[in-house]
């Protein structure tokens, strides 16, 4: 296989990525303010900002799920143990010794095994918990008189806040990894212009040249 510069991230992926980032930062900012870490605006406005950002993010996620399922891009998140240890070893200590990244991006595997596993856990674990607990908290008035309401709201709030801290930790790690390996710009540009260096088989190259002209930069 040879390496080519290919548009691997579509306009929707890039829109989804940056919109999601903006909304998550808004949620973290307003969430920490609601908990009293700082008070940039009245409490009621912070709550409304948090709720609007949360509902906007849920709507965006629903569209993203539909897009992934209908375009086949869900395949990029399929976990595999093939090469997982090599990538984990690289991030654990190989990266500090100046070693080359053991994973080479391919057209249908643009995420390395550790990335795919992390993103899958994010989408199937962390995000749904934030969704469910947030919606439960928002709709407390509808179930506050139910048989399980006593003390439940407190647990809902604790779990929601705990997973929000997990989300903040993921963002910190995500941004940190952008500064490793190649230059920061090399990591960031694919999510701006869509193009990245990936390995293509002759069949994949022929397919893209014939059916999707302009996707490869020679």
Under CATH, what is the fold of the domain 2-217?
Answer: Fumarate Reductase Cytochrome B subunit (1.20.950)
Whole-structure pTM value: 0.85
Per-residue pLDDT reduced to its tens digit, 127-136 = 999 999 999 9
Name the phi and psi angles at 81, rounded to 5. -90, -5
In the structure encoding, which two tokens stand for residue 194, read together?
């869509």
How many C-alpha atoms does 77 have within 13 Å on its Cβ side?
Answer: 13
Place of tokens 């391919």: 106
Q: How many residues does the chain have?
A: 218
| Rounded-to-integer distance, Cα 20 and Cα 61, Å | 8
Long-range contacts of 207-213 (CB under 8 A, 24+ apart): 208/6, 208/107
Query: Tell me, what's the pLDDT at 63?
Result: 93
In the structure encoding, which two tokens stand for residue 165, read together?
């801290």
* Residue range 159-169: mean pLDDT, rounded: 95
pLDDT category, 150, cuts 50, 70, 90?
low
pLDDT category, 1, cuts 50, 70, 90?
low
In the structure encoding, which two tokens stand for residue 55, read together?
């509902």
Contact 76, 108 (CB under 8 A): yes
- DSSP secondary structure, 48-107, as one string: HHHHHHHHHHHHHHHHHHHHHHHHSGGGGG----TTHHHHHHHHHTGGGGTPPPS---BT
Query: Tell me, what's the pLDDT at 182?
Result: 65
Contact 181, 101 (CB under 8 A): yes
Is the predicted pLDDT of residue 177 greater than 70, yes or no?
Answer: yes
* Residue range 76-85: mean pLDDT, rounded: 85
| Rounded-to-integer distance, Cα 197 and Cα 193, Å | 12
Place of tokens 């143990």: 81
Domain ranges of the chain: 2-217
């Amino acid at each position: 296989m040879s390496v080519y510069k290919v548009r691997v991230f579509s306009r929707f992926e890039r829109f989804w990525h940056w919109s999601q980032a903006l909304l998550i930062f808004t949620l973290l900012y307003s969430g920490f303010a609601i908990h009293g870490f700082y008070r940039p605006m009245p409490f009621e406005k912070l709550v409304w900002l948090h709720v609007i950002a949360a509902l906007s993010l849920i709507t965006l996620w629903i569209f993203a799920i539909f897009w992934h399922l209908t375009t086949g891009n869900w395949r990029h998140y399929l976990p595999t143990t093939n090469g997982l240890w090599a990538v984990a070893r690289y991030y654990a200590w190989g990266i500090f010794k100046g070693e080359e990244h053991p994973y080479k991006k391919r057209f249908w595997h643009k995420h390395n095994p550790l990335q795919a596993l992390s993103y899958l856990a994010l989408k199937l674990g962390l995000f749904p918990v934030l969704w469910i607990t947030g919606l439960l908290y928002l709709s407390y008035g509808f179930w506050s008189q139910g048989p399980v309401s006593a003390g439940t709201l407190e647990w809902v709030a604790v779990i929601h806040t705990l997973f929000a801290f997990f989300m903040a930790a993921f963002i910190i790690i995500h941004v940190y990894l952008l500064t490793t390996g190649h230059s920061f710009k090399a990591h960031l540009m694919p999510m701006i212009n869509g193009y990245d260096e990936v390995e293509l088989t002759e069949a994949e190259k022929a397919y893209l040249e014939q059916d999707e002209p302009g996707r490869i930069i020679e």
